[in-house]
């Protein structure tokens, strides 16, 4: 191997440097190889994230937790240079919702103008709150699902039949 700047080896890291260094390589050659290496890893990561997005499901998670997981995947895809649009995130969110949100999954795509990703979260959280209140009984105090924000409390009186 030709003599290269010892600083380059330290800057890149020994293990990584050994993956890309070759005889006669210039510093520019090494930087090109580094870019290729990370781009290859980026493509693999993008594919893995798309697979995760297609297979994620809410299960027993509160809407806020499920929303954050889908949002985090979308943000990581954007950081990797993938064009993840609002519609794709909403579709992924709706497809993985639990059955108790079947009505919302059906009507949200029909809304005009289309809602934003955060507006869909709000719709789903309001439905989740309604379901929690309905399950709690006739006149009860209902608290919003945990979302990392201050908890709001409402008094809900169900009509007596």
pLDDT at 103: 95
> What's the pLDDT at 14?
72
CA-CA-CA-CA dihedral for 33, 35, 37, 40, to nearest 10: -130
Per-residue pLDDT 10s for the chain (161 aa) are 445 555 444 555 677 667 777 788 787 887 787 777 766 677 888 999 999 999 999 999 999 999 999 999 999 999 888 988 999 999 999 999 999 999 999 999 999 999 999 999 999 999 999 999 888 775 455 654 444 443 444 434 444 44
Contacts of 129 (CB under 8 A, 6+ apart): 142, 144, 145
């Amino acid at each position: 191997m030709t003599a290269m700047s010892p600083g380059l080896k330290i800057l890149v890291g020994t293990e990584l440097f050994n993956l890309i260094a070759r005889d006669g390589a210039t510093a520019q050659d090494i930087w090109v190889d580094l870019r290729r290496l990370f781009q290859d890893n980026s493509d693999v990561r993008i594919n893995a994230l798309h697979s995760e997005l297609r297979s994620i499901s809410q299960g027993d998670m509160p809407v806020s937790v499920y929303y954050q997981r889908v949002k985090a995947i979308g943000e990581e895809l954007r950081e990797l240079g993938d064009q993840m649009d609002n519609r794709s995130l909403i579709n992924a969110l709706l497809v993985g919702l639990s059955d108790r949100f079947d009505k919302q999954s059906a009507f949200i795509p029909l809304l005009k103008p289309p809602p934003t990703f955060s507006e869909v979260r709000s719709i789903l959280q309001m439905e989740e709150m309604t379901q929690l209140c309905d399950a709690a009984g006739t006149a009860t105090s209902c608290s919003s699902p945990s979302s990392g924000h201050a908890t709001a409390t409402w008094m809900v009186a169900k009509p007596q039949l």
